[in-house]
Every structure is written in structure tokens, then in C-alpha cells.
């Protein structure tokens, strides 16, 4: 693989960089670069800007309204957006359910949902995990009874990220309890405004309302909202999870955070010298930078070999290493800020109160706590190691 970029790819990079510089509102850039909370409107405003530019579905093929970029062009787009302080695209619609609908959805589902995802007219969330069915997802209990023209759904989902904002949720439900667990699961698209859908907040360690539990009490879902065939949901879920795990790698975000660590370390003093001059800190920073460079090359190789980004051992490798690198960077930020990283004032994350100490310290503790999730969601890293052992080593 040629590790250099072509003239056309470099021109694409300049175009993306200029767009982010010119179109991203300064208040959103400030929030992203300093780890402050983003609102629903912040995310939607950026998505609408991308839509107006023709980049509303950056990873989508032209036949579904996307730009039809190569894997390398998409990689460049994501890297430049992250470096410029743009919000990460809400992946539940863009990178998770959209590819499933393109591959397995009906024509009616594609025509109804894909344009609205691209234009930021519908926010999606994911209904997979349940109490007792997280990494062991096949143990899910939420049931859907086929009543002819509709399903009657009852059960509970948990850790539903940003479900409080969502218009729709894609759910795995049990439609046949009498077969092998993986064979009795279907995927349904459920309108969050349906009677019987209840969203309850879960406040996490960083003080944020990011995740929720979602209850379904006799929720009626039209049969036309089932993706693909009944009891084939496990197949569609595996396809979807491959996209999620690739996306979790977050190369561009990790590069941005690496630069942030270097800025903070250069500003903080230890024994009268910048912390970046400390040999032990510098060695640890160099180690994670090398790991990130290797991960970036691996990601490009995977995308070049598998443009569809389907699930497999490669996706698990990206998920494991990407999450570990992002967690390590959050730890280095805490170390670089020293005692100023310890205080945690929720209002400072909203920009309503000044932080304790330097401005760059405001969100560090909350960011560290929040990123503990990376090695769990999308399939715990321990599960990913089992997948690698099975698919590569044959164990």
C-alpha cells in the first residue's frame, strides 16, 4: 500500500479543511476543542451544513445521495473535521442503521429514512443492550409478538446513548423464544413518539445525561418497520456492529487529542520546566503517538481492502486499539494538568462558570470518566479479543 496521498487526495484535504474553517460556527469549535458539552442543536447545525455542501452522508455511496468517496477520501474528511474542531457525526443514523437499510431495508424504508438522516431531520438511537444482555447480546429479553399487521413490543433497553434526543430507535427484539437465541431475533424501527415508549435518564460519573433506559409497554410497531426477514435480526446486527467498531477507532479524534495533550503539557510546569520536557512523560507520550500512527495505517489498510467496512477480526482490532489509545490520551491530559484536573464543576462544562485553574482543565476529569466506556460499548474489548482468537487464530 502506498502510504502517500495523491495530488487529488491532497486537494480533497484542502477542500475539506477550508469548508470546516469557513462553515463551522466558532462557538461549536470552542466547545469541541475544549471538551465542553455539545447540545442537540449544535450537532444538528453541523449536520445541516454538511448536507447543504452535499456531504450529508460522507460514507454513503452516490446511489443513496452520498458523495461516493473512496475509503481514503473518507478518512481524510474525518481527520480534517476532527482537527478543525467539528463535532463527531452522530453515528447511530449515519454509520449504523443507514448501511443496514442500504443493504437489507425495503425500498420504502430507504426512501423514508435515508434522506431524513442525511438532512438532519431525524435523530436515531440504538436499542441493543439490556440489563443482563450487554456483551452477551443474544440473551436479550425484549419481546415482539406478531399480531398480523403490527408487532406488540414489551421490554427494556439500557445505556441508550442520547435517546432523550431521538426521533427513532432501531431495536433488536425477540420474535421466536423457542429456537436458538441468535435465530429468534428481529430488528425493528420504532418511532420514539409511539404510545408506550418511556425514556428515563441515567446520569453518568461525569455528571452528564448521555445515556438512558428505554421502556416499551405494549408498543405497536407496524410490520413494515421490520428490517429484512423475521428472525434474521442477528445477521443484520453483526453487520451493523462492524460499522460501529470501525467508527469507534476514532483516528482523527485521537490525533486532535494528542495535539491537545502536547499543548497542555507545554503549558504546565514541573520543577520550573514544561512537563513535556520530563523524560518519563515524554516517553509515554511518544509511545502512544507511535501506537496511533500504526493504528492509522492499519485503518487505511482495512478500509482499502474492505470498502463496505463489514464486521470481522479487523474491526475488532481497530475497536480495541482505538479505544485504548483514546483512554490513554485522557489519562495523559489529567497528568499534564496536575491538580487542576481534579476539581469537577458541572456548570463549567457548559461554559456557565469559570473552571478551577487554567481554562483547559475544566473538562478533563469529566472527559476521563466518560471515556472509560470506550472499552465496553460496541462490544467489550474482552469480547473483541475472543473474536480475534476465533477468526484469526482459529481457537
Active site residues: 244
Beta strands in 113-184 (DSSP E): 124-127, 143-146, 150-157, 168-174
310 Cβ neighbours under 8 A, 6+ residues apart = 239, 242, 243
The strand pair at 273-274 and 185-191 is best described as: unpaired
Quick check: helix, strand or coil at residue 249? coil
In angstroms, what CA-CA distances link 327 with 79, 127, 196, 264, 335?
19, 25, 38, 17, 13
Q: How far apart are CA 368 and CA 105, in angstroms?
A: 38
- Asked if residue 198 lies in contact with residue 154, where contact means CB atoms within 8 angstroms, the answer is no
DSSP character string of 98-133: HHHHHHHS-HHHHHHHHHHHHTT---EEEE--BTTB
DSSP state of 295: H
Q: What are all long-range contacts of 9-17, with beta carbons under 8 Å and residues at least 24 apart? A: 9/72, 9/73, 9/76, 12/73, 12/76, 12/77, 13/76, 13/80, 16/76, 16/77, 16/80, 16/81, 17/80, 17/83, 17/84
Q: How far apart are CA 211 and CA 216, in angstroms?
A: 17
Amino acid at each position: 500500500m502506498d502510504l502517500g496521498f495523491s495530488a487529488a487526495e491532497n486537494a480533497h484535504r484542502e477542500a475539506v479543511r477550508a469548508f470546516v474553517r469557513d462553515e463551522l460556527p466558532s462557538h461549536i469549535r470552542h466547545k469541541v476543542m475544549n471538551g465542553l458539552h455539545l447540545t442537540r442543536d449544535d450537532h444538528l447545525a453541523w449536520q445541516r451544513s454538511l448536507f447543504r455542501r452535499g456531504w450529508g452522508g460522507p460514507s454513503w455511496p452516490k446511489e443513496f445521495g452520498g458523495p461516493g468517496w473512496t475509503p481514503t477520501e473518507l478518512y481524510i474528511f474525518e481527520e480534517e473535521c476532527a482537527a478543525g474542531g467539528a463535532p463527531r457525526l452522530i453515528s447511530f443514523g449515519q454509520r449504523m442503521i443507514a448501511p443496514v437499510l442500504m443493504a437489507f431495508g425495503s425500498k420504502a424504508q430507504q426512501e423514508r429514512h435515508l434522506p431524513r438522516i442525511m438532512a438532519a431531520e431525524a435523530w436515531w438511537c440504538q436499542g441493543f443492550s439490556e440489563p443482563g444482555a450487554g456483551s452477551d447480546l443474544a440473551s436479550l429479553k425484549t419481546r415482539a409478538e406478531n399480531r398480523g399487521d403490527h408487532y406488540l413490543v414489551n421490554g427494556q433497553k439500557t445505556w441508550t446513548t442520547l435517546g432523550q434526543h431521538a426521533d427513532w430507535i432501531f431495536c433488536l427484539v425477540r420474535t421466536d423464544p423457542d429456537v436458538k437465541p441468535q435465530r429468534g431475533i428481529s430488528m425493528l424501527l420504532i418511532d420514539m413518539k409511539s404510545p408506550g415508549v418511556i425514556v428515563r435518564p441515567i446520569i453518568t460519573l461525569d455528571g452528564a445525561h448521555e445515556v438512558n433506559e428505554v421502556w416499551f409497554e405494549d408498543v405497536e410497531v407496524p410490520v413494515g418497520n421490520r428490517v429484512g426477514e423475521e428472525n434474521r435480526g442477528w445477521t443484520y446486527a453483526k453487520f451493523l456492529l462492524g460499522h460501529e467498531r470501525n467508527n469507534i477507532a476514532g483516528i482523527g479524534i485521537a490525533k486532535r487529542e494528542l495535539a491537545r495533550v502536547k499543548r497542555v503539557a507545554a503549558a504546565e510546569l514541573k520543577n520550573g520546566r514544561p512537563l513535556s520536557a520530563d523524560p518519563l512523560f515524554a516517553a509515554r507520550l511518544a509511545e502512544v503517538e507511535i501506537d496511533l500512527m500504526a493504528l492509522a495505517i492499519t485503518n487505511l489498510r482495512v478500509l482499502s481492502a474492505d470498502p463496505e467496512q463489514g464486521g470481522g477480526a479487523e474491526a475488532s482490532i481497530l475497536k480495541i486499539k482505538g479505544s485504548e489509545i483514546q483512554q490513554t490520551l485522557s489519562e495523559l491530559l489529567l497528568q499534564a494538568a496536575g491538580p487542576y484536573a481534579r476539581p469537577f464543576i458541572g456548570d463549567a462544562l457548559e461554559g456557565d462558570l469559570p473552571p478551577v485553574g487554567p481554562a483547559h482543565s475544566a473538562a478533563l476529569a469529566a472527559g476521563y470518566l466518560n471515556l472509560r466506556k470506550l472499552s465496553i460499548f460496541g462490544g467489550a474489548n474482552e469480547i473483541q479479543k475472543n473474536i480475534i482468537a476465533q477468526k484469526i487464530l482459529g481457537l
